[in-house]
Every structure is written in structure tokens, then in C-alpha cells.
Amino acid sequence: MRRNLLNSLLLSLLFCLPLLAQDVSVSGRVTSSDDSSVLPGVSVQVKGTSRGTTTDANGAYKISVPANARLVFSFIGFSSQELAVGNQSTLNVKLLSGAQNLDEIVITAQGIERDKRSLGYSIQEINGSAISQRSEPNVLNALQGKVAGVSITTASGAPGASTNINIRGITSFTGNNQPLIVVDGIIFSNDVNNTQNTLFGSTPSNRLADINPESIESLNVLKGPAAAVLYGSRASAGAIVITTKSGRNQNNKTEVTLNSSYNVQNVYGLPQYQNSYGQGTLNNYVPNSSNSWGPAFSALSSVTNTQGKVVPYQAYPNNIRDFFTQGTILQNSVNIASGDQNRNYIIAIGNTLQKGIIPNTKFNRTNIQIGGESKLQNGLRVSGTGTYVQTVQQGIPGGNGGSAFGQITAIPRSYNLPGEAYQDTLTGRSIYFNPSAVNPNWSLYNETFNSQVDRFFGNFQLGYDIAKWLNVSYRVTGDTYTDRRKLVQQIGAGRAPTGDVTQDNFFRSEINGDLIINAHKEDVFLKGLNATLLLGNNVNQRKTQEVYLDAATLTIPGFTNVSNGSVFTASSENSTIRRLVGNYGQLSLSYNNYLFLELSGRADQSSTLPKNNGTYFYPGASVSFVPTDAFKVNSNVLSYVKLRGSIAKVGRDADPYLLNSVYVTSGYGNNVANINFPLSVNGNSIPGFGISSRIGSSNLTPEFVQSYEFGANVGLFKNRVNIDATYFNSHSTNQIFNAAISNSTGYDTRTTNLGSLRNKGLELVITGTPVRVGGFKWDVALNYTLIRNLVEFIAPGIKSAGIPGNGFIGSTPSIKEGLPYGVIIGNANSRTQTTDPTAANYDASGQYNGQYLINAITGAFAPTVANSVISNPQARYTAGLTNTFSYKGLALSVLVDTRQGGQLLSFGAAAQRSSGALYATGIDRDQPRILPGVIPVTAADGTVSYKPNNIQIPAQTYWQGIGGLQSEATVFDATVYRVREASLNYTLPKGLLNKTPFGSISVGVSGRNLFFYAPHFIADPELNTQGAGNIQGLDLQGPPNTRNFGVNLRATL
């Protein structure tokens, strides 16, 4: 409070200072030192300010600068140069070419532009061109395989499916582990508003999908808390800072850019099926069986189906593949940009029309953006931008219990899914071989999910240079959306046989106000020592509301208005509001452009914490040193070395309303049976409330993530090869956590501060240009990520706890002391052991340690041991390699990546294996088999020894014995190698366009997910039905992934 007042007073005073600065005009030409060719588009920046311009087509520039200013010339592919203007009016510059520009300006927290060399922490910048035209409407998916330290998984190939992103691992037990997203200074919600559960539910998008990838100029990943400390609490999981295109670099020319792309999507990565045996069990045909353990196709020619019709008994090899269709994505956008550094505008319109691989699904998005800035004659800089987005998603629910995807894995090989009628024309009900389930084709049109998002986000900023060393600015940003969802289950639906319509309306709004004072002084205390001080104040408010109307038991078939319902008991409303005030500061010192020190700190006051604990402070410090400059190393081999290190602590507040215990509307049950209050009994509607299963805490304190990192950037061979290596270590403590407690307390969780979680890892980025001959260039970019995550401590007496979200009873994603985050606890097979003679299954011979125990009579596995860790979803390491070949206007880029290790628990695979549909189950089916393991042999004196299992069982018993959904056999190694994307672009030579209205034209073809190889899994292991969230490595029957091919066209006028 006191500090805010001070800030404001200071600001008022500063506005009264007279204007002193006097500008001079400088012009010149920038050329390449290689061949003296002119360089258009070089950035010319007045050092320490945001003032700048770019060179025109002839390499010329003109800029007015304050006296004694220094100009920084930078251009991709060249080392930047810094020159004092002095009293010169002409300044010609030769830039030295290098594979990568190591001194380029990057955008850091709060939009602060920095020399990359001054940073003591790791930032990875992705150029807009690496994201756009990648056949991928969701920006996050386009980042896959490109950024070290970042893990990105998409829920599925369904249109608009949500994507999870974690930077440097999971840092909070149950909090939001997605990085903060900032778009043009706007804190941008990437919420999912997930209402899906494991059994049945819609799969909504993550809201970053509202961004049009075409509009992105650059994207910076601020990986550690040190980089992000200025954003405060919410950036403790890192931040992604997106800058959209603007008219700043147009050199006062108006340019119209047209982008157009068309992609086709096909389902990719389905498992291979057997086509020798049909529907049934124990070698018998059974019309309502979802198994394929029936007779061989050669044994029967026709059968009578559930509907009493005689149908041929034959394989339908593509009955699952043909459930899917070809998806298409048509994207068009137009940008009109004009202006220069001081006055510019942009108008952009983008449209994406996606038809999904699942019939009757789509993802359509329209973006309209207007932005601009102007420097008034009085020196006031005004800028603003506003974007309206409408995103329409239409999908069908997924999940294990009664969704189309739960059914699609339970289709016998002999069922003609595409060919059979799926809907009774008279009653509208589903027709299916299994009367207890619903035909997936019926689901497509009768169990539908719609979401329409209307979103507006924008900013408004005022800036003023009070003195040439002092700038004050105020920025207001807003981001608000409504997501109106409707889930329709027509009468006869699997999950709601009497029909159900839910109207689920989300509203979210966020407003931020930031006051930023920036002071810059050169040669303070001693020559060469420059100092920049930034002081800021942030006021934040977030509001949400969800209104949920559940109309159950429909009367009129096909009428999908909630007025058709007759039971409304599950309806609800949930609103939240939270506010935060933060004060922050950063002092940056640089000495002779080779030694840098940065100190930052932020104090937050949050509405969600108890008043006496509501204010918390956290600091950060970083150092960067460039020895090659300090010691003036002049080597053709070692061109550049930067050493850096940083340490930071970031605090995080709680979610709203965690301080109290409350009462909630009562309800009981699960998918077997359930009731909800008010209960309608004997004509009375009886309300019922119960105490919430969570105990509130009135003495919460903020949680903290402490981290340090150090690393080096090395440039070799005139910077043709660059290595960027980072080691990081973060430690999350005092977590605000709804800790699972013994249910016998009467509660399920208790909100408290507990636990300790550590992430450490290595990130390596190597870029290089192995070949550069004439016009031909071969660039290589490799990134490698290794993260080790460890749950060090949970709570006294508690060794493990489930992660909230949608696991499955019996396969519980958990935190467990001494293990990585997110291990899945479930039922493991009994095994022999050789360590404890007094415990069960002791093998005295020591011969069969760890072997499965087999029942000596049945030859099946002995009973499973519940509560065992069966799966660890964390990858050993991931790596991506991009090769780009360019020759004149032609560029070919191929990204291959791999994920090594990490496990996937797949209900889909387990279901298809035990149902006899998978290819492997058809091999030698008539031959008996033996489960791996040992049989206990009890001697006359009662001692138990073991011998290898030799009990023969039929194929069906074998494959079903290996394990159904709830067993360790559901777990697979998710190692995968993938050709993630490839693109070929051709830019037409300028000469060809001289007589046309076009400034440039480029055409390209691209493909995504072209090929994968998963040695240990039957399908594509890159699946997670949970989508964005803390639960990873679970496939609870969702849609498969896709392979995309596309063409694109880009033209400027």
C-alpha cells in the first residue's frame, strides 16, 4: 500500500519535469561483410530504448536519435553491432555473418527487450515462421519437438482437443502446472475448463487454441522462475511470451499479406488387427459379444445377428478405420500492416475451418485484430491492440464408459460397423449387436458436444520519456471470454438412457493494470558500467462463473432444448473472484557489455490467502559473463562464450475460497448408480446438503518454488555452430495442496501447506550450419531435454496420495514419496521375492526372483497385489532435430523427434487385446499357451519351492489372463520416434513479380506426424485422454492421432 502510493507520487512528480532531450538525425546503409551485398530488413535500434527502424530494400535506414545515443544493428544470421552515433549524421555498417546471431534482442518478462547476451537464464525463442503453416491450428502443437525443457502432449487428434504443456517438469502437486501465457503483454488464459471425466465427457480445448498461429511474430519460452519472476506467482511454471505481428517494421509502406493453407487429416496410428476369427467367445459365435474369440472365418459362412438377420460371417478388416473419415483444415488470413517504429497499425483477419477425422466434428475459428501505436509530438507514446475471436468446437464425448470411443475398441472383427444400420428409423434409438451398448455411429449424431467461445482480449498502453534516461508507462490489459457449451444425449444414449441436455456456460475475465517506471543510466560510478532500474506495480483481477443446467429425462425425441427435460437436480452455479496487487523491481547492471548482473524482486498481496499471510516477497538474481569479450579472445574456432547462472524464488498464492469448510449439495454414486439431491420422493422434493469432503484452512501460506540454473552458450567457427547448455534445479516447497487424508476422518482432503518436490534436468540446444556453399545452406537445430522429477516428501505419515482429476479407481495417478510425479498406482501381479524369508512368495532357491506367480491349478496369474506402482509416465529424455535445407527461394525443413521411455497406461490396448481383436491374438490361436511365471510346489514338510509354469491354457484364457483394464499389463513403454513435421517452401524470385502487384509470393507443402515408430506399443503412444492437466500417461479410450498433409500459399501486396 505504502509502496503503491509512493509509485504514484513519484509518477505525478515526474510528469512535471521539463523535456530536455534534443534529437539528431542519422542515416546510412547496412551491408554484408561477406560480399558487400546490401541487407534489407536489418533492425536498427537505439540502445536501451524501444526506438528503432529497419533498413529498406536497398539496405538504407534513417532514424532520429538522441545525442550521444548508441545504435544496435541486428539481423538474423549476422552478428549484431553496436556503434556510438557521436556527432555523425551518416553511419554505414558492415555486418559480420554468423550462423546465428548471438546478440539479438529478445523479449523477456513484462515485454522488456534485452540483449540475449545479458541474460543469466535460459530463454528459447521461436520465430513465427516456425509455427505458422504447420498444418496445425493449435499453437502449442506446432511447438512440439522444438523447445528444450518443454514437454507437450496433445489429448488426441480430435478437432480442438486440448494440449498439455509443462516447462521443466511439474512443480506443483495439484496446482496449475501450465506456464503463464502472455500475448502482447496480455495475461492470456490457457484454461481448459475441463468437465470431462474418465467415463464419459466432452474434450474441450485449451484456450490458447484461440490464437491464430499466423498472427505470431515471435514466441519466447521463459523457462525458469528466474526469467519469469517479474510476472509473479503465476509464472512459477515458466512463461510463454508471444508477440504478434505489427506494423512496426514496415518502413512506412503498407503491406498486405495473404496466407492460405489447406490440409487433409487422416487417422494415423491405429493398431493392427487380426482378421481370421470373428465375434464370439470360446470358439462359439455369440451375436451380442464384443469379443473376437469366435470361430475361424473358415468354419462358418453366415450367422444370425442380434437383430435376427442372417449376415455373412467374415472379417471386416477396416471396420474400425472406416469409422473415421478424412478431416480437412482450411486456413485463410489477411494482414494489413503499415507504419514505422513511431506510427503504425495492423489489421488482421484470420479464419480456420477444420472438419475432424470423426464425422460430425469440427473446429472453426475466426480472429479479427486491430492494433497500432503512435508517438505523439509531445513525446507520449500510445499503443493498443484488440482482438476478437470466435471459436466453435463440435465434438463427441470420449471416455471408457459408454462413449463412442469406449465402444470402438469393443467391436468384433466380423461386425460390419460401416455397413450396418445404426438407428431405428421408427424410434430413433440405436441399433447395435450389443443391446447394452450404443452403436458408435449412433453416438456421432446423438451424443454431441458443442462449444462456442467468444473472446475479446486487448491492451492499451501509454508511455512517456520523462527524461532521456527515464520512461514511465501504464498498461491496461484485458482478456475475457464466454464458452457456451451444450452436451446433448438423445433418448437411448448409453450414459443417459432417458436422454439428457446440459447447457454449461463459462465466463472468465481478467484485467491487469501495470505501472512501469524504467530508468537507464550509462557510465554510472565508472566508465562502462550501465544501469537500468525498473519499478512496477501490478493490479490484477480475475472473475469466473460457470452456470450449469442439466435437463435430464427428455420427453420429445430429437428436441434438444433444455425445456425438454423433466429433472433438473444436477444444475449448479459456481462463481469466483480473486484479486492480486504486486509491486516489483529489477536492477540490471552491465559492465563493458561482457559482465551482467540482474537483481529482481516482487512482493504480492493476494486475496486468496489469509489476511495475515497475504503478502509475500520473493527475489531473484542472475549473472552473465562473456569471457571471449572480456579477454578479447580472437579465435576462428572459439568465437563466443557466455557463462551464466541465476537463482530465484517465486511465490504462489492459493485458489479462491480454500480457507473455509463449506456445505455442498449432496449426491451419491458413480456410473453404476447415482442419486442427486434434491431427492424427489413421494411427490416431495427433499433438499439435502452434506459437509464438503475438503477441510478448509484458515492459516494457509504461499507456496514457493526455489530454483537455480547455470549454463553456457558457446559459439564455434565464427558462430557457425552454437551450443546452449543449461542445468537447472528447482525445488517446490510449502505446496498449497488439498492433501488426501484418511477418509475415516469424515473428509477426503485437507487444504494445507505441505510437501517437497524437486526437478532437475539438462537442456541442450545445438544449432549449426554444416554447409553454406553459394546459395545453398544446410541448418541443423538439435534440442535435448532430460528431466528428473522426485517427490521428496508429502506429509507426515503419508507416503502417497492421488492426484485430483480423472484417474480411474484401481489405476490412480499419484504422488508417491521417493518416486517421480504422476506414477500410477494400481494392481500388480504377485511375484516371487528372494529378500524376506518371512514374507509371502519367498523363493529360497533364489532362482526365480521377481517372476510372476501362477496358480498351480488354473495356470492363471495368482491374485494381484493392489496398491502397487505400475506405471511411471515420465520420459527418460526427449530430443528433437530439425534439418533445414535452403537454396535461393527453396527451403526444406524436416523435424524428427523422439521420446525415450515413460509409460502409458492404455485401456484401449488392454481392451482390444483381451477381446481378441489385436493382430497378436490371432496368431496360432488354436495352439495352447503358457503364461510366463512360476508355480509354487508345496513339499510334504510344508516348504514351498517354485518351478517354471508349464500349465497349458487356450489362447483366449491366455490373452484375457495377461490382463484386462485394471492390471499392470495395461502399461506399455511409450518410447517413440517420429517424423513430426516436414515442410517445403518456395519463394518466387522477386524478378518474376516485378510486373505483378505482388511483393512476394511463396508456396509450400507440409506434413505433420508423417511417420512414427513405437517399439513397445501397438498404436501411437502420444495420447493422453486427460488433455491439459496434471495427470499424464493415461489413455482411457479417446480418439486416435492424425497424420496431416497440406499446401499453403503466402503472398504480400
Window 949-968: residues binding other proteins (CB under 8 A): 966
Query: What is the x/- site pattern for other proteins, positions 465-484, by CB under 8 A?
Result: ---------x-x--------
Check binding of 698 to other proteins (CB under 8 A): no
Q: Give the amino acid at 385.
A: T
Cβ closest to other proteins, residue 226 vs residue 581:
581
Residue 690 binds other proteins, judged by CB under 8 A: yes
Q: Is 524 in the site for other proteins (CB under 8 A)?
A: no
Can you tell me which of 37, 684, 943, 994 binds other proteins, judged by CB under 8 A?
Answer: 684
Considering only residues 617-656, where is the footprint of other proteins by CB under 8 A?
656
Residue 902 and residue 75: Cα distance in Å, rounded? 40
Instruction: Tell me the per-residue interface mask from 568 to 597 with other proteins, x by CB under 8 A, - otherwise.
Output: -xx--xxxxxxx-x----------------
Using CB under 8 A as the binding rule, whether residue 553 contacts other proteins is answered as yes
Instruction: Decide: is 682 part of the binding site for other proteins (CB under 8 A).
Output: yes
Distance CA 874, CA 760 (A): 13
Pairing of strands 529-554, 572-591: antiparallel
| 230 contacts 187 by C-beta, under 8 angstroms | no
Tally Cβ neighbours within 10 Å of residue 1019.
Answer: 23
Among 446, 477, 560, 606, binds other proteins (CB under 8 A): 606
809 Cβ contact list (under 8 Å, min separation 6) = none
Cβ 511 to other proteins shortest distance, Å: 10
Count of CB atoms situated within 10 Å of the CB of 844: 11
Q: How far apart are CA 505 and CA 284, in angstroms?
A: 50
Position 744 contacts other proteins (CB under 8 A): yes
By residue count, the chain amounts to 1053
CB nearer other proteins, residue 554 or residue 909 = 554
**CA 1012 – CA 598 distance, rounded (Å):** 44
Residues in 266-325 that interact with other proteins by CB under 8 A? 280-282, 284, 286-289, 306
Is residue 562 a contact residue for other proteins (CB under 8 A)? no
Q: Are 949 and 931 in contact (CB under 8 A)?
A: yes
In the bound state with other proteins, the residue whose beta carbon lies nearer, of 19 and 771, is 19
The binder of other proteins chosen from 35, 526, 632, 797 (CB under 8 A): 797
Specify the amino acid at residue 334.
V
Q: Does 513 bind other proteins (CB under 8 A)?
A: yes
Nearer to other proteins, 745 or 927 (CB): 745
- Closest Cα to residue 863, out of 872, 855, 873? 855
Q: Residue 153: beta bridge partners?
A: 164
In the bound state with other proteins, the residue whose beta carbon lies nearer, of 85 and 303, is: 303
State which of residues 262, 297, 445, 747 lies at the interface with other proteins (CB under 8 A).
Answer: 747
Residues in 835-874 that interact with other proteins by CB under 8 A: 855, 858, 860, 863-867
Asked whether 221 and 123 are in contact (CB, 8 A), the reply is: yes
Least distance CB 282 / other proteins (angstroms): 6
Q: Which stretch binds other proteins (CB under 8 A): 226-234, 810-818, 871-879, 921-929?
A: 810-818
Of positions 58, 635, 670, 927, contacts other proteins by CB under 8 A: 670
Enter the C-alpha cell of residue 651: 511465490
* Alpha-carbon gap, residue 46 to 53, rounded angstroms: 9
CA dist 342 to 43, 52, 335, 515, 649, Å?
A: 14, 8, 19, 21, 37
C-alpha 326/C-alpha 262 separation (Å) is 13
Smallest gap, in angstroms, from Cβ of residue 474 to other proteins?
5
Interaction of residue 676 with other proteins, rule CB under 8 A: yes
Distances in Å between the Cα of 382 and the Cα atoms of 475, 511, 732 are 10, 19, 40
DSSP-assigned beta bridge partners for residue 752: 737
Region near other proteins per CB under 8 A, out of 51-59, 330-338, 602-610, 765-773: 602-610
| Cβ neighbours, 10 Å, residue 700 | 22
> Cβ closer to other proteins: 38 or 462?
462
Span from 222-230, 636-644, 794-802, 1003-1011 in contact with other proteins (CB under 8 A): 794-802
CA 7, CA 13: separation in Å to the nearest integer?
10
Cβ proximity to other proteins: between 635 and 867 the closer is: 867
Q: Does the footprint of other proteins cover residue 114 (CB under 8 A)?
A: no
Q: Which residues contact 1046 (CB under 8 A, 6 or more apart)?
A: 133, 135, 261, 262, 263, 264, 329, 1005, 1006, 1007
Pick 531 or 539: Cβ nearer other proteins: 539
Per rule CB under 8 A, is residue 401 in the interface with other proteins? yes
Q: How many residues in the shown chain lie near other proteins by CB under 8 A?
A: 123
Peptide bond into 954 cis (omega under 30): no
- Segment contacting other proteins (CB under 8 A): 80-88, 483-491, 606-614, 845-853? 606-614
Contacts (Cβ under 8 Å, ≥6 apart) of 492: 427, 428, 429, 430, 438, 442, 446, 499
Residue 24 C-beta-side C-alpha neighbours within 13 Å: 16
DSSP 8-class letter at 743: G
Work out which of 390, 692, 834, 1000 binds other proteins, going by CB under 8 A.
692
From 131, 132, 140, 147, select the one nearest 161 (Cα to Cα). 140
Q: Does residue 662 touch other proteins according to CB under 8 A?
A: yes
For residue 496, the minimal CB distance to other proteins (Å) is 8
Quote the least distance from Cβ 704 to other proteins, whole Å: 20
- Residue pointed to by grid coordinates 552478428: 79
Residue type, 890: L
Pattern of binders to other proteins over 357-386, x per CB under 8 A?
A: -------------------xxxxx------
Q: Does 818 bind other proteins (CB under 8 A)?
A: no
Residue 436: CB minimum distance to other proteins, A: 4
Would you state the cell numbers that stand for residue 820, as one nine-digit string?
A: 517421480
DSSP states of 279-326: SBBTTB--TT---B-S-BGGG-SEEE-TTS-EEE----TTTTGGGS--
Judged by CB, which is closer to other proteins: 368, or 511? 511
Q: Smallest distance, Å, CB 403 to other proteins? A: 10
Q: Which of 92, 254, 680, 927 binds other proteins (CB under 8 A)?
A: 680
The closest of 424, 433, 412, 440 to 309, measured between CA atoms, is 433
Q: How far apart are CB 200 and other proteins at their closest, in Å?
A: 9
Return the range that interacts with other proteins (CB under 8 A); candidates 115-123, 146-154, 429-437, 999-1007.
Answer: 429-437
The site string for other proteins over 218-257 (x = CB under 8 A, - otherwise) reads ----------------------------------------
The one among 15, 559, 617, 776 contacting other proteins by CB under 8 A: 15
Name the minimum Å distance from CB 207 to other proteins: 22
Residue number, 389 or 741, with CB nearest to other proteins: 741
| Closer to other proteins by Cβ: residue 511 or 780 | 511
Evaluate whether 854 touches 949 at the Cβ level (below 8 Å): yes
846: alpha, beta or left, given left = phi > 0 and alpha = psi -120 to 50?
left
* Position 5 contacts other proteins (CB under 8 A): yes
The residues that bridge with 530 in the sheet, in sequence order, are: 590
| Rounded Cα distance, 321 and 421, in Å | 17
CB closer to other proteins, 280 vs 702: 280
Q: Which is nearer to other proteins, 155 or 815 (CB)?
A: 815
Query: What is the SS3 assignment for 875?
Result: coil
CA distance linking residue 813 with residue 819, whole number of Å: 12
Q: Which of 127, 302, 326, 566 binds other proteins (CB under 8 A)?
A: 566
Residue with Cβ nearer other proteins (612 or 634): 612
